[in-house]
Each structure stands twice: as C-alpha cells, then as structure tokens.
Chains A and B, each alone.
Chain A
Amino acid sequence: MSTDVIDAPAPSSRDADYLARRELIQASARNTVKRRRISALVIRILFGICVVLVLIPLVALVYYVCKRGIDALSVAFFTQTPTPPGIPGGGISNSIVGTLIICGLAVLIAIPVGLLVALLLIERTGPIPTAIRFGADVLSGLPSILIGLFAYSVIVVHTHYSGWAASIALAVLMLPIMIRGDEEAMRTVPGDLWEAGLALGARQSRVVRSVVVRGSIPGLITANLLGLARAVGETAPLLFTTIFTTTFTLDPKQPMSAIPFVIFYDGTSAYKNLQEDAWGAAFVLMVGVLILSIIGRTVAARLTRKSR
C-alpha cells in the first residue's frame, strides 16, 4: 500500500498565499499518513502480543510436562505395578494396560454404532435424522462428568465398578464426535459414484459398503481417531465408573485403573515417588493424545493423495 504524498506541479501564478496553502495541505496529508502508519504498527504489535500471550502458557505447559515427565520414565515405569507411598521404584503398568483395554473396548463399541448412525444420517431424510444430528451436537457439548454420572446411575448402581462401565462411558463420550465426523467424511463422496453403483444394479447396502464407505476411509479414520483422542485423556467419566487400584488385571469385569487416575490422585499426594509417577503418567498421556491427533490429521491427507 503506497501512501506517499504526490507532489503536484507548481502553479504558474506565483501566488504566495496559494503556495503556503499547498504546503499546509501537504503537511497535513503527510501527518495523516504518518498517523495511519503508526496506528497500523501499533495494532499489529498489540495483536502480535496476544499471539505471544496465547503461546507462552501452551509452550510452557508442554515443556514442563516433558521435562518432569521424561525424568520419571524408566523401564520399570512401564512394566511394574506401583510401590507403596514413600518407596521409590515401581511403575504404572496396571494403569497403562487399563487405559488401553478401557479405550479399546470403548472404540469397539463406538465405531460400529457411530458408523451405522452416520449411514442413517446419509441415507435417510426427515425428522429423525435431523433430531439425531441435533442430539449429537448437544451430546458433544455435555460435560464429561455428566457422562460419568450417567454411566454410574445406569450401570454401576446395578452392577459394580468395572472396566466395562468405564468403556461404555467413554464410548458414549466419543459417539457424537464420531457420528458427525463420519457423516461429514461420507458426504464428500460425490453423488455420481452413488448413481454409478446403483446403475450397475447393486443393492443400496452394497453401494454403501463398496463405494461410499470405501471411498471415505481416510475421513472415517480421521473422525474416529479424533473421537478416541478426545476420550483417552478424560478423567471425570472414569471417577464414577471404575476405581484407582494398584493391582494388575486384564479382566474388564474387574475395577481397572487408568492413566488419568495416576495423575489425579498421585499428583495431589504428598509423597515424592507418587508425584514422580503422576508426571510420568501426564507425559505418557499427553504424548499419546498428541500422537493420535497428529496421525488423525495427517492420515486423511496422506491416504487421499495416494488413492489418486
């Protein structure tokens, strides 16, 4: 944006009054330009400061968790169960396995249900799909603690604390994200492909399986990974469905520990070794979620490029 003041050709009549006035106008124009430049600069600096303000805590957070977390890691951290308070050593293998099993089961429940509901949204029109879409949006805005309390009053009250109860809570938590993500991914399949499939005489279910689902696989992977990433780090639903234990179990019918528990309980304990465990757990959880998010974001781009 060039804002230099243009010099007008001098007037033929040497009118001093005229020249003085021209000088005045030029000075004021120069002034305006200067003011505008300063204003643009000031606003740029102020807004830039806001970006820095946003970044400082975020970078500090990641840096500090990495620093404390890496110090706490060891082979034993991943392979052993916790030692009693005050006694160094041990690990959180039971919680790591617990998180893997709870989240694995949650995914096994949520992915098929989410995909089917998304197919319903794609294939049918009318009040029910609209209501489902609305319901999914509202559900994804609900605080996770409410999902935990729901799982408690519907499942735990009638049975007992267990890995299964936690899985169902997390499945409900991921479901709305997966439904809307799956739907969006499948909407990108062009109508021509549907029509081509149907024109070949294939049944609708066949077209959906072979054309629509297959054609949107990268998008589906992204949607489901992001749903999983959201659920992995949730603590509140676990608090009402399973128990923080130190025993190692592979049986989801039993109460199972999970990584967020280690952070929540050990992080607030007075014992040094437990605090160390909490930082290690925080690091593992953060890295896990970041990896899921990064894979989720890149896989779509990568696979789409390859299939072309």
Chain B
Amino acid sequence: MVTTRQLLEKRRSSGSVGRGYAVLLWAAGGLFFVVVAAIIWGIVSQSAQAWGHFGISFLWTTTWDQNTDQLGAAVFIIGTLTVTAIAMVIGIPIGLAAAAFLTEMCPRRIATPLGIAIDLIAAVPSIVVGLWGLYVLQPIFLRDVEPFMQKIPVVKLAFKGEPLGASLFLAGFVLSIMIVPTMVALTRTALAGVSNLDREAAFALGATPWQVIRKVVIPGANSGIMAAATLALGRAVGETIAVTLLIGNGTTLGHPFSLLNPGGVLGSIIVLTFGESQQGSLYRSALMALAVILLVLTLIVNLGGRWIVRRNREFRLP
C-alpha cells in the first residue's frame, strides 16, 4: 500500500518549485536553531568577564556592593528560591483544589464559564498585576496581613522584624495569584482526562468524594498535574516585572533573615540597575552572569519537569 509519506517522498524531488519550497522550509528551521543558539551565546558571552573575575564563588558570595564591585549572586538566588517557594506553597494546593472542585463537584454549566474566566484572567499582563499589587495589596499587607502573620505561633518565626509592606512575602503572594490560573487551567484538563469508569468504580466500592479524588482522580492525572506544577514553577522562577515592583529591592539577606525583609530576585536587580551601568563594565557583566544563573535555573525546571512527567507516564503503564 502506498502511504501518504511515500507519495510525498516521490513528489518532493520533482521540479524546481518543489525544491525551492524545501529550501525555504529548511532555511526557516535553520533560522530557529540560529535564534536559540544566539540567545544562549548572547547572554553567556556577555557574562564571561564576571565569571573570569569572580570565579565560581560568585554563586555563594552574599555581598552585592555596586560601588566597590564586590559582587555575588547568593542574595538573589536565595531571593528567587524564597519567592518561588512562597508562590508554590500557596498556589499549588489552592489551584489543585479549585480545579478538583470545578471538574468533580460542580455542574458543568457553572464550571465551564468559571474555567473560561480564569483562563482569560491568566492572560492579564504581569505588569498590570504588579501595579495592582503595589497600590492595593501593599497597604493591606503593611497594615493587616504582615502584623497578623507575626502573631501566628510557629509561622511567626519566619516573619521577624518590622513590617514594611514591600517584602519577599508580598512578592511571593502576588506571584501565587499569577500562577494559580495556569495551575487551574492545566490541572482541569488533566483531571478531566481521568476515565469516568474509574470514578464510578470507586464510588461503587463505597468511596466518599474525598477518597475518590485522593485515591483515584489525582493519581490518575498524576503526570498532567506534575506538568501543570512544572509550568507554574517555571513561570514563578522567571517572573520579573511584578516582583520588581513589590519585593522592596534590598541587596542584602537582612539580619535576621525574614520573609518581611525587602529582597531581590535575579531578574529584579537586572531590571533595576541595568540602565545605570556601562556596557563593558564588570558590573554589567555580573548582571549578565545573574541572567546565566536564571537561564540555568529555568532549564533545570523545564527539563526536570519533562523528565518527571515522562517517568510518571511510564510508571502508569499497566
């Protein structure tokens, strides 16, 4: 039997028009690789000076002094990880529960419009969310939320110091608002993919809705949920603009380290000081080195996520 592909093979070699078209396709493909290579090369090459000057200890040096050029990335690496962790701790469970409610416990004629609304709001640009956080949430955090967190037992240990409004905590919180729509949308798709027969079987065995969700639906959608969480994580790690507006922009870890301290993430310090630094200076190169660290972090998240998703899928095969 002649397949489409074989027909294509035959057709492909015929005539100069066909060849011109093929050249065009491969040129576009080649251009894509050139762009990807240029992204990596462009960022890495500009950071060479900083790596040469500071060496690998740049990664764990906690000083960032623009005047004396004593620079280390540790403050911003820790800031990025802290803010991301706050966003994930708040965003993932709530997003998962909301998605579970929409797919499992809610009539479709309510779930569908709610889902579309959440999808659309996910498209609101992060700068707009940042502006809203700055004008609306920051005063509320300063007056109510941060003093309140200081009163909760155990939790208060992470909230030492004077509430200032703009802080790692506020940045992480707003970030969680930004990743929740992504989480809900993707998790809903994953949960909807679980067969109804599985659910019915569990109900027939006498499971409560909670048991069905925990023992059947969530394990069944495991790899999809993982993929959703990975995408949310990637977005949280790389989000810059909204965080820059809300994090308070400190360049030290603070004594003692507290979620109420103003801090910085890898992107925020680049955005804030890039314009005032000279092209070719050591400082500019150190900013590019921060960008390299951010690049590596996002690659780890992306590739790690793909790996986990693939591994889970293999495990699920009967």
- Interface residue ranges, A against B (CB under 8 Å): 1, 36, 39-40, 43-44, 46-48, 50-51, 53-55, 57-58, 60-62, 64-65, 68, 113, 116-117, 119-120, 123-125, 128-129, 131-132, 135-139, 141-147, 149-150, 152-154, 157, 172, 175, 179, 191, 194-195, 198-199, 203-205, 208, 229-230, 232-236, 239-240, 260, 263-264, 267-268, 278-279, 282, 285-286, 289-290, 292-294, 297
Contacts and interface: CB of A to CB of B under 8 A. Distances in A.
18 contacts: A48-B101, A50-B101, A62-B124, A138-B36, A142-B39, A142-B295, A142-B298, A146-B238, A147-B39, A150-B43, A194-B8, A195-B4, A204-B11, A235-B127, A268-B134, A282-B127, A282-B128, A290-B120
Nearest to A147: B39
A55 B99 CA distance: 12
A40 B125 CA distance: 38
Scoring A61, A68, A141, A263 by chain B CB atoms within 10 A of each residue's CB, the highest score goes to A141
Nearest to B128: A282
- Chain B interface size, under 10 / 10 to 19 / 20 to 34 / 35 or more: 35 or more
A46 B4 contact: no
A143 B131 CA distance: 19
Scoring B93, B131, B181, B267 by chain A CB atoms within 10 A of each residue's CB, the highest score goes to B131
Given A113-B31, A205-B18, A278-B131, A57 B238 contact: no
B128 A144 contact: no
A54 B184 contact: yes
Contact of B210 (A39, A55, A113, A278): A39
B253 to A, nearest CB: 22
Given A40-B210, A204-B11, 6 more contacts: A64-B135, A64-B136, A153-B46, A172-B39, A203-B17, A297-B116
Nearest to B11: A204
A149 B291 contact: yes
Given A143-B239, A145-B271, A286-B128, A60 B136 contact: yes
Interface of B: 4-5, 7-8, 11-12, 14-15, 17-18, 21, 24-29, 31-33, 35-36, 38-39, 42-43, 45-46, 93-95, 97-98, 100-102, 104-106, 114, 116-121, 123-129, 131-132, 134-136, 177, 180-181, 184, 203, 208-210, 213, 231, 234, 237-241, 245, 267, 270-271, 274-275, 279, 288, 291, 294-295, 298-299, 301-303, 306
A138 B95 CA distance: 24
B274 A135 contact: no
The 3 closest A-B pairs by CB, nearest first: A233-B125, A143-B238, A116-B28
A144 B134 contact: no
Nearest to B301: A141
B11 to A, nearest CB: 5
Given A54-B98, A142-B238, A61 B121 contact: yes
Contacts of B33: 131-132, 135
Contact of B124 (A55, A138, A172, A290): A290
A59 B12 CA distance: 54
Contacts of B299: 138
A263 B128 contact: yes
A179 B241 CA distance: 26
B238 A51 contact: no
Contact of B102 (A51, A129, A294): A51
Contacts of A145: 238, 240, 267, 270-271, 291, 294
A232 B43 CA distance: 23
B294 A146 contact: yes
A143 B298 contact: yes
Contact of B128 (A47, A65, A138): A65
A150 B294 contact: no
Contacts of A292: 123
B44 to A, nearest CB: 9
Contacts of B306: 137
Contact of B42 (A135, A153, A179, A194): A153
Nearest to A294: B120
Contacts of A139: 36, 39
Given A47-B100, A143-B298, A204-B12, A120 B39 contact: no
